Amino acid sequence: MPRPEKIEAVSEMKKLFENAGSLFVTDYQGLDVAKMTVLRKKLRENGVKYLIAKNTLMRIAAKEAGVDGLDEHFIGPTAIAFTEGDPAAAAKVLHDSYKDHKLPRMKVFMVDDKLFEGAEIRRLADLPPREILLSQVVASVEAPLSNLVGSLDGFFRELVGSIDALAEQKKG
């Protein structure tokens, strides 16, 4: 019979799995308390929850939440970073920590229900923040429209100028 604390822990982890837009499964072995505290603080500042729990409980919670493909990665010291927001922000913090300390090691990560190998985190970490990406998309859509409006404005200005010139010519 499972203990009530474990049932509650699985329930809370299940909610994290269900609500996360992306998650990062890491191996934190060798990360001392001071470095772990700094890492958690940076993750928390970016809206990321970094959870260390028993692999069995994480496996059960992931299965109950319908998240597949992670079971084989719940081996050894495992922590998961959950984020509902920008996955690039979490990837940046984790990747920067890895560059500085060679820890935590990325096992695997999931973005929008797609599973990626840990080595691919660099590509995600190198992406600009979500707001900048959206502004780049808007700019690329807006540029051709602005050019079209400018061209039409020039055409009509020329047309009106020609009509005015004809009117003046007929008067005089």
* Span 47-80, pLDDT tens digits: 999 999 999 999 999 999 999 999 999 999 999 9
Q: Identify the CATH homologous superfamily for domain 4-127.
A: Ribosomal protein L10, N-terminal RNA-binding domain (3.30.70.1730)
The model's pLDDT over 22-53, given as tens digits with 9 standing for 90+, comes to 999 999 999 999 999 999 999 999 999 999 99
Among candidate residues 110, 59, 101, 57, the one with its CA nearest the CA of residue 81:
110
Residue 39, token pair as written in the block: 């890492």
Helix extents (H) in 30-102? 33-45, 55-65, 87-101
